Structure formats: structure tokens, C-alpha cells
Chain A
Amino acid sequence: MAEKSKLNLNRVPIPKQAPEVRKRNFDEVALGYSDEKVLEEASRCIACKKPGCKEGCPVNVEIPEFIKAIGAGDMPEAVRILKNRNSLPGICGRVCPQESQCEMTCNLAKKGGPIAIGRLERYVADWERAHPEITEQQRGQISFNGKSVAIVGSGPAGLTCAADLAKLGYRVTMFEALHVAGGVLMYGIPEFRLPKMIVQGEVSYVKSLGVEIKLDNVIGKIATVDEFLENGFDAVFLAPGAGAPMFLDIPGENLSGIYSANEFLTRTNLMKAYRFPEYDTPIQVGRRVAVFGAGNVAMDASRCALRLGAEEVYIIYRRSKAEMPARLEERENAEEEGVIFKLLTNPSKFLGDELGRVRAVELYEMELGEPDASGRPRPTRKAGSEFIMEIDTAIPALGTRPNPIIPSTTEGLELTKWGTIVTDEATGRTSKDRVWCGGDMATGAATVISAMGAGRRAATDIDACLGNSS
């Protein structure tokens, strides 16, 4: 263990595209460590006896061990250790909120310089993708254990659960409603934060484990969960994802030019509207864009709007900066690119033109009062503060409600009052025999890594249940 005096608290910065350049392209913002920089960062790890980082990771990656392998220059070993616990490291290295997980519990965090675990993870994953023969060698022979599992949804929860079960010898079939696998990683998170080539690389890895992916399959419509259970699947894992977008519930919200963040991001990322007319799906952005909400999805939408050519993009949020739910890094990226934050401001109605397109929004100011049920200061309306702001596009990014298709077509699934599926957090079990659930459908909107954690726990429990019954 290094002496205290030798502690190096200088995180090696990750090179990024300059804000002025990147705000007009969809290429990845962060460029990744070079071979030298990764060694420099890895060498800062003091290999604690009681590593806090591991406990902070929802899928318990053996973090000090893989960092040690990087330090020793043994990349195949680093890949092996990382992949042992995390089937999607290229994704996690980019989109996990490390600052509130592994890097928060890193023992160097208290001193102000936690190891940049996410960036190291990303480096290892990118190295692996450039050396596909390594994973090929590392993948042992898997023998079919005679059990089949259906997984509904191919987002982070579904992919993780599928990979874990496939490695244990289960025959896994994954059903995806859209025309590509990856769920929110494909339709939601923008290319500049998570290149789609990387997502598809991870999907290919899961397929290489023998998982079959059936695209264009909306479960509840083309087949039901009950039919899966009757027709040979021993278990079903439900991970259908974020569901139905919420709107502001104010007059004028159905004018054209008002997109839910889901629609705006789906058109942009999944349908590649930023390459219209080469791609067929259009999108309208105009000069001035207002995004409502201040979570990660709002940051993604505002940064996409800039890249689609908007001159001014506003984040309109009814609370103050301190209460913003977005990751600090995403907020900083958005600010650097020129997104304007209009805080303590709330909309009251949209105004349209004669063609039914939005042309302005009426806003009013808020004041912060006593803490509310969430513990945050309650914003209240400041009397007489109304004003009109002209806009061409509005994007409510207010979260989602569960999609009703699966609950309404499955017998005996108990639901919460929010419409999510009642799920035991530790095991992923639902009220229905042989049916597990995880991800946003169980918890409401959350992060990629928490969905992956749920996929992992469900896979463990499915194996425990099916293994015992044989």
C-alpha cells in the first residue's frame, strides 16, 4: 500500500472534443484515454485492503483487480476480470453515474481525487472491441442445461440478464419491440454520448453467447407472457423499459413542434433524423428550443437540439440548480456547449400559429419555499411574473409512466399504484409464478446500471429457482 505522502490526487483528465466543435456534430464528445494516460491513471490506485469502490458498484465489478491488471499491462486479464461481472463494460464506462457509485465510495474520494474508474473501464472495453479474438478465447464452452428463458426487452436489464443466464447454460430468447436491439441505449442515449456501434458491439457479444434476439416483437400483442409459460419457457424476465412519456398537462401541449423527449430522441437517435433526407425520418428544430425538466434526458435532448442546428436552446426548470437531477458532468457538458439554463421558471401554456405549430410559451417565475415531501424546497408561483417566450420547438422531458401493454395482457401480475409491476428488489420476483421483472418497469425511470443490476439479480434468482426445481 502506498504511503500517504505519495498519494496522487490528480485525476488524469479525459480528452474531449472542444465545445465549439462538438456542439455541431454527433461524434462522441469524450475521446478516451491514450495508452500512456491509462497507465498514469491506473497507477494512482492504492489497492486498498477494503476497497470501497466494489461496494459502490451495483454489479460488484472487481475494480481494484482490473485496475491492477491494467497497471501490469495485462489487458486480456483486465478484460477477463471486468467481463466476469459486467457484460456491457463499453456502455457502463460511458454512461454510469460513477460519481455517485464506485467513484464516490473510492477511498481517495474523501481526499478529493477518486480514481477515474469509469474512464478506465471504458479503455478496457474499447481495447477488447479492437481485439475480438481475446473474448473468443476466453469464452468457455457452454453446455445447454435444458432450460429456456424468455426475456422481454433488450435494453440494459434484458441484455445483462440474458448474458448471465446464457453463461449458465440456459437457452435464452430475447424479444424486442423495435427494429434494433438495445432499447434505451439505441433510441434514447444520443450517439455523442454512447456511439451506437458500441451498443451493437455489446449486443453482438450477448448474441455470441447463444442468445437469440427476436426483433419487431411487441409482447402482449404478437405473443403474451402466459403463452410463453405455456409454450415451453421455464421462466420469463420482463424488462420492457420506460414506457409512456408524460406531458405538462397545460393548454396547447398537442401543437405540432412539441415533442416528448422520447419522441425527439427516438427520431434523432434511433431513426437518425439528423441525417434527413438521407434517412427518411424528419425532425423539426427551428431557431429556438425550450426543453422542460432538468434530468439527464433533458440534457440529452437539449444537446441534440443544438447539434440539429438550433441557435438557442433553453432548459426550463421550476426549481434551482441545486435540485437538478441530471449528472453534474452532463450539466457541465450542456453548459459548455451553450445550453441556457432558465431556472425557477415554469410554463403555463403554449401558443400556436394558424397551422397549429407552437410559436411561443407563456412562462412564470417560481420562488423556493419550505421543503416538500421530497425534501427539496417547494417551488411556488411568483404572482404577476408571467412572460412570453417565442420558441419554435418545445420538448417536455418529464419522465415516463409505465407502458400498459404487458400488465394489461398478462394474468395475475400485481401492479403498484403508479402502474409499475410489483417486484421484490432483491430477487426480481413478481407476484406471478415463474415471472421476474427488472429495470424501469419495476422501479420507474432510473439508470442504465441500476437496470443492469436488476438483470443480474433476476438471473441469479432464476437460476436458483430453476436449478433447484430440476
Chain B
Amino acid sequence: MYKVLKREVLVPNTVYLKVEAPEIAQKARPGQFVILRVDEVGERFPLSLTGWDKDEGTLEVLFLIMGRSTMKLASLGEGDCIMDVVGPLGKPTEIESYGNTLAVCSTFGTGPVIRLAKALKEKGNKVVSVMEAKDEGYLFWEDRLRSVSDEIHVVLGDGSRGKHRQASQFVKEYLKSGNKLDRVFVFGRVFTMMECSQATKPFGIKTVVGLTPIMVDGTGMCGCCRVSVGGKTQFTCVDGPEFDGHLVDWELLIKRKRAYLIEEARAFDLWQVDKLRRIAELSELPERVSLV
């Protein structure tokens, strides 16, 4: 059992947890993930690691409420326990001295990118970061990202900061106006990763994306998380989760992520009916937003 030490709703539908997991914390590195199972009847699902503290023996995760499992996780209070946390899984991010780097994040990708930006800077890279959010109300941890970046750009979907509405538009223009980049990292929504990869492709700048397909065991045993990269089938859990964004078959990834939409909606609805009182208690949780 893994105890929740801290819980915070950062912005609508986005929850942060700090969890006691001393052994995993000793080994965690940027880019890795954990598999969770909230309770006895729960499913196994992956979350990227947002942070970890070896001395404290804790892990941090940050996630969107998208269905029954994430809702269950979000409705745990401080002091409650998660039944299973497995990790750290996946290959860590390769962090070298590249020169000029760009780190793009949206929603749940923000946590991993802060950790990554810090590690990139420690290797002597220049880090320009881009943060994408729906509007001012969905923006969080801007200061944290700023503190580990040489430069930060915030792109809001309502166009209220600067002229861009999507991170990919910013990336495209940044490159067009002659800025030199040696490596790009994108974490968060599939569309952010896909569009940023498309933006950097004509410039031939290697773009690393952190994929989040559906998983079951997370250790290479079932093949549920398979993706096609450069025409080759890869298992995200053991070969990834990071891949070359220029080679990922995005359409396949998106379709596979949506394979259980009907079942997910049914399970979520049933759970909500069952737990109306609990949901009311947690009234700080806003209504569900769309999936992607």
C-alpha cells in the first residue's frame, strides 16, 4: 500500500499527488513512469513521474481526470492509500549536452518537463521552454518552469498571451525566424506532441516525445502499448516511453488510445452514480472535460 501524503487540485480536472514510495524514489529518473492500481477491482494504468525525492522517499504524479481510474485516484484524500504502485518503468530520458534545447509541455506533461529542463540545464544546455494551456485558468506551475529555464513562453488557447494559440505555432515561427535548436522535447497531450513534431520535421531537428498509450502490465509482457515507430512495432513500456516524434505513427496511436471509449464512459458513469456522495464531498472537483 502506498500512502497519499499530499493532494492538490491544481486547475480544473488536474490533480497533483505526492505518494510515499521510498524504494521507487531511490531509482526514479527523468522520463520514467509508474503503473498504478487504485483498489482491488482497479485497472492498471501508467502515469509519468512528475517528481521524486530520495531523502523523503516520495513520488509525485500529476494527471487529468479522464475516466473511472483517474477519478478514483483523484478522490483519494491525504492519508488514503493506493493499492499498487509499480516502477520506475520505461527507459529514462537520454540527457546529454546538446546545446540549444526546446522543452514543450501541456497539462500533465508540465511535471515531467520541469524535471527534464532541470536535468538539461545541469548538463549545460540552454533551455527554452514553452507551456501550452487552454486559458489563464488552466495555467499552473509557470514559476517553477521559469526557474529551470533560460527563457519561457506561455501559449494560451484563447490567444490572450501573445499571438499564438498552440505550442506548435510558436515552435514553427521560432524556427522560421532563424533560431537554432539542437533538440526538442514534447510532453503532454497527444495533439501537442504530434503537431510540434510536424513543426520541427522540415527543419530536421530531432524531437523526442513521451507517449502515453493504454497499458496493462507495463513490463513488456502483454503488448497492449504497442506503437509503430518508423514502421516498426515497438512496446512503449520497455522500448519507450520516449520515441522520435518524426517517426511515430500518430494516427495509429490516437486510434489505439480511443479503443475503449465506450467501455470507459460506461464504467465512469456507473462509478459516479455509485459515488455521488463522495463526489459531492469533493466538490472542488469540477465537471468532466472532454478526453483529448
Contact = CB atoms under 8 A, between A and B. Distances in A.
Contacts of B43: 271, 279-282
A216 B85 contact: yes
Interface stretch (B202-210, B215-223, B277-285): B215-223
Contact of A178 (B27, B85, B217, B264): B217
Contacts of B258: 355-356
The interface centre, meaning the residue of B85, B220, B235, B256 with most chain A CB atoms within 10 A of its CB, is B220
B233 A253 contact: yes
Interface in A205-258: 215-218, 221-223, 241-245, 247, 253-254, 256-257
Interface in B225-274: 226-228, 233, 235, 238, 251-252, 255-256, 258-260, 263-264, 266-267, 270
Contacts of A245: 221-223
Nearest to B27: A222
Interface string A271-314: 11000111111101000000000000000000000000000000
B229 to A, nearest CB: 11
Interface in B83-102: 83-89
A242 B221 contact: yes
B220 A244 contact: yes
A267 B216 contact: yes
Contacts of A241: 221
B219 A177 contact: yes
Given A218-B89, A262-B222, A263-B223, A404 B259 contact: no
Given A254-B252, A276-B267, A356-B252, A263 B216 contact: yes
B276 interface: no
A276 B264 CA distance: 11
A94 interface: no
B44 interface: yes
B149 interface: no
Contacts, number: 123
Nearest to A215: B84
Interface in B39-63: 41-44
Chain B: interface size category: 35 or more
Nearest to A265: B222
A179 B84 contact: yes
Contact of B223 (A247, A256, A257, A276): A247
A271 B217 CA distance: 10
B220 A403 contact: yes
A209 to B, nearest CB: 24
A214 to B, nearest CB: 9
Nearest to A278: B41
B221 A262 contact: yes
A285 to B, nearest CB: 12
B26 to A, nearest CB: 8
Contact of B263 (A260, A278, A282, A403): A282
A242 B222 CA distance: 10
A221 B263 contact: no
A266 B216 contact: yes
Contacts of A193: none
A45 B266 CA distance: 56
Interface in B1-54: 23-24, 27, 37, 41-44
Interface in B69-111: 69, 83-89
B68 interface: yes
Contact of B221 (A179, A216, A244): A244
B119 interface: no
Contact of B86 (A218, A276, A280, A281): A218
A282 B264 contact: yes
B216 A271 contact: yes
B263 A276 contact: yes
Contacts of B270: 277
Interface in A329-388: 355-357
Contact of B259 (A179, A260, A272, A284): A284
A389 interface: no
A223 B23 contact: yes
B88 A222 contact: yes
Nearest to B67: A280
Given A256-B259, A263-B223, A404-B238, A218 B87 contact: yes
Given A218-B86, A241-B221, A266-B221, 7 more contacts: A216-B85, A243-B221, A245-B223, A262-B222, A266-B216, A266-B222, A271-B43
Nearest 10 A/B pairs, CB to CB = A356-B255, A282-B263, A256-B259, A263-B222, A280-B43, A281-B43, A260-B223, A179-B84, A216-B86, A279-B41
24 contacts: A179-B37, A179-B83, A179-B86, A217-B23, A218-B86, A218-B87, A218-B89, A221-B89, A222-B23, A222-B87, A223-B27, A243-B220, A247-B226, A253-B233, A254-B227, A256-B255, A260-B222, A263-B223, A271-B44, A277-B267, A280-B41, A282-B43, A282-B264, A356-B256
Interface of A: 177-179, 187, 215-218, 221-223, 241-245, 247, 253-254, 256-257, 259-260, 262-263, 266-267, 271-272, 276-282, 284, 355-357, 403-405
